[in-house]
Amino acid sequence: MRRASTIAAISAAALALTALAAAPAGATTATGDGERQFVVLFAEGTSASAQQAAVAAAGGTVVTSNADVGVATVTTSNADFAADAAGQAVIEGTAQNRVIADVPDAHRVNGEAEKQDAAEQDVKAAGGAAGAAAAKSSGKAQGPKGDPLSSQQWDMAAIGATADGSYKVEQGKGVVVGIIDTGVDGTHPDIAPNFDAARSRNFTVDIPVDANGDEVDGPCEDEPDQSCQDPANVDEDGHGTHVASTIAAPLNGIGIAGVAPKATIVNLRAGQDSGYFFLQPSIDALTYAGRIGVDVVNMSYYVDPWLFNCTSHPADSPEDQQEQQTIITAMQRALDFARVRGVTLVSAAGNGATDYTKVISDVSSPDFADVPGEEIERTRDLLDPASCTSMPSEGNGVISVSSTGISSRKAYYSDYGNGYVDVAAPGGDAYDTAGNTRDLTKTILAAYPKALAEANGEIDENGEPTVSNVVKSCDASGKTCGYYQYLQGTSMASPHAAGVAALIVAKYGVKDVFRGGLYLPPALTQARLEQSAVDTACPVPPAYTYTRITPAGATLTATHTCEGTKASNGFYGKGIVNALKAVGK
């Protein structure tokens, strides 16, 4: 159905591209002999008629367009379309929506979540409770207050988002949070009470196979809903559901509670089941968020196919450089469109364990090939951070979030960089233990779609978990049950920061007379988020060596160097977010 590792992270109605056999705007299919699909960026202010005329002059046809930011998806059989489009005065750039000819097993999206291998790790719940007991939790809380699995939410305790902490002061009522991700299971009992189905949208269509016939999202008939055009309350990856519940799972006597348990969740699906996030869906999700009054969006991904969009790297062809510039410009337009309309933008920093402010190598881009039969064997070395940008985490106006473990150290996998990271938040680190061995309870527990647990054989015919990384919780009656899974990644850190941002808007925002709900300028939301974050100094010495002893007995080490002061540094930015401090008196 999809690749085994759960991918982050990291885009009105679902696009109906009937001319392309319902192919998504962000992913191409070969629709005819030599036919290709492009995203075209127009000069700002270009009319729809002028856009269509310019595309036609270059040998293409507009399939769908986003008038908010001047971007259109185009299909063409003209092999020289990009060059011919460059000759049109109103066209600023093109980015080929490449035919997916190869999906490498090593594909990793920005903020990818790592699902722990249940066969190698038993649950060791906080307080000594056995994993089996946690998996059959009744409605009775294991701790003195909070929801049944609150004792396993070390992450919420770490940022003061508890019944004795921020929940007493502010829970986020009236705030709308958009989840730009792989989808949200709006039927999950720990999401449904806060899920806004009417305003949720799916901007993608599943891609069953690539141009070689190899699986991408998988056969439509094998999907839980047996469809490639999923409704807007479906998540067939699990990543977006985990993110959504971390932000706003309600206090309802089942499972967990989120950072902002009364905030409203809107699904703005821009990601494929396989973890790809294409340009047009991402743009459409952002502009839609700006138009409907979303207050905060979480983006735990990067826009494929380039992890770093470089405008002048010598290893890239002029065409590739132009494509990457188009992605940067188009995404920034969409980010600006949303932010000027009151949307606070929050993004995962990434899981590459690298310093984004230093010269870096990129072994993953582009992360799928152009031509059927091609293999991807490419490394881009000596990338200059001044001319290479990862989107959306390095976009202007975006809050980039690094990940911390249970001890508050930066997670071993988290990207970092002084001037890149704005704040840090719990994202989990299974090796943040006394013996540097793996313990999945040091990762993040959040909601998991039942349909996925069934499809993956993770629950039996009686609905009981068969693996230790999946947890079951029921209400007091025992009739309503939900499932939860442990994940780690900056994908899990980002929603903690987004949840605190939602609390800030709820506490300090004013009535939005234009779009309804609340309004707080994103610059003020970010300022409060950073001011209330707990200053966390670099380790001493600043070159910190991580040691991990794998279940197979191998010892892995890596050294990351933290630069900056206690008030602002490359590991923690302005500090670790804190819900209680953000809204407390």
Q: What is the pLDDT of residues 362-398, one digit of tens each?
A: 888 887 655 455 555 567 888 999 999 999 999 999 9
Q: Which range among 109-113, 284-288, 302-306, 369-373 shows the weakest confidence by mean pLDDT?
A: 109-113
Encoded amino acid at 299, one letter: M
Q: Which residue has the tokens 């699995």?
A: 149
CA distance 192 to 182: 17
To which H or E segment does residue 485 belong?
A: strand 481-488
Q: What are φ and ψ of residue 65, in 5° steps?
A: -140, 155
Q: Indicate whether 562 pLDDT > 50.
A: yes
> Which one has a higher pLDDT value, 15 or 202?
202
CA neighbours closer than 13 Å in the CB half-sphere of residue 210: 24
CA dihedral 227, 233, 234, 235 (to 10 degrees): 150
| DSSP codes, 274-314 | TS-B-HHHHHHHHHHHHHHT--EEEE-S--TT-SSEESS-T
Q: What is the pLDDT of residue 61?
A: 94
Q: What is the pLDDT of residues 16-70, one digit of tens each?
A: 222 222 333 333 333 445 678 899 999 999 999 999 999 999 999 998 899 999 9
What does pTM read for this prediction? 0.88
Q: List the domains of the chain with CATH numbers.
A: 29-97 (3.30.70.80), 114-536+570-583 (3.40.50.200)
Buried b / exposed e along 15-35 (16+ C-beta atoms within 10 A) = bebeebeebbbbbbbebeeee
In angstroms, how far is the first alpha carbon of the chain from the final one? Answer: 49
Burial of 419 (0-12, 13-18, 19+ CB in 10 A): middle
Q: Which range among 104-108, 236-240, 501-505 shows the weakest confidence by mean pLDDT?
A: 104-108
Give percent helix, percent strand, percent coil of the chain, each to the nearest 5: 25, 25, 55
CA distance 47 to 57: 15
Q: What is the pLDDT of residue 153?
A: 97
CA distance 364 to 112: 14
Largest CA distance in the chain: 69
pLDDT class of 272 with cuts at 50, 70, 90: confident
> Which one has a higher pLDDT value, 309 or 372?
309
Nearest to residue 471, comparing CAs of 460, 482, 455? Answer: 482
3-class state of residue 206 by DSSP: coil
Q: Indicate whether 405 pLDDT > 90.
A: yes
Burial of 296 (0-12, 13-18, 19+ CB in 10 A): buried
Q: What is the pLDDT of residue 212?
A: 63
To which H or E segment does residue 583 belong?
A: helix 579-583
Burial of 478 (0-12, 13-18, 19+ CB in 10 A): exposed
Our measurement of the distance from residue 313's CA atom to the centroid of its chain's CA atoms, rounded to an integer in Å, reads 27
Six token digits for residue 5: 């590792």
Check: CB of residue 365 under 8 Å from CB of residue 306. Answer: yes
Our measurement of the distance from residue 118's CA atom to the centroid of its chain's CA atoms, rounded to an integer in Å, reads 23
CA distance 12 to 284: 8
pLDDT class of 259 with cuts at 50, 70, 90: very high
Angle between helices 239-248 and 490-508 (to 10 degrees): 30
Check: CB of residue 230 under 8 Å from CB of residue 451. Answer: no
Q: How does strand 444-448 pair with strand 380-383?
A: unpaired
Six token digits for residue 488: 């780690």
Tell me the pLDDT of the chain averaged across its residues. 85
Mean pLDDT of 272-301: 94
Peptide bond into 224 cis (omega under 30): no
Separation in Å, CA 575 to CA 212, 349, 376: 47, 14, 39
Q: Which residue has the tokens 């031509």?
A: 371
CA distance 282 to 204: 10
Encoded amino acid at 289, one letter: A
Six token digits for residue 74: 């185009």
Q: DSSP state, 222?
A: G
Encoded amino acid at 248, one letter: A
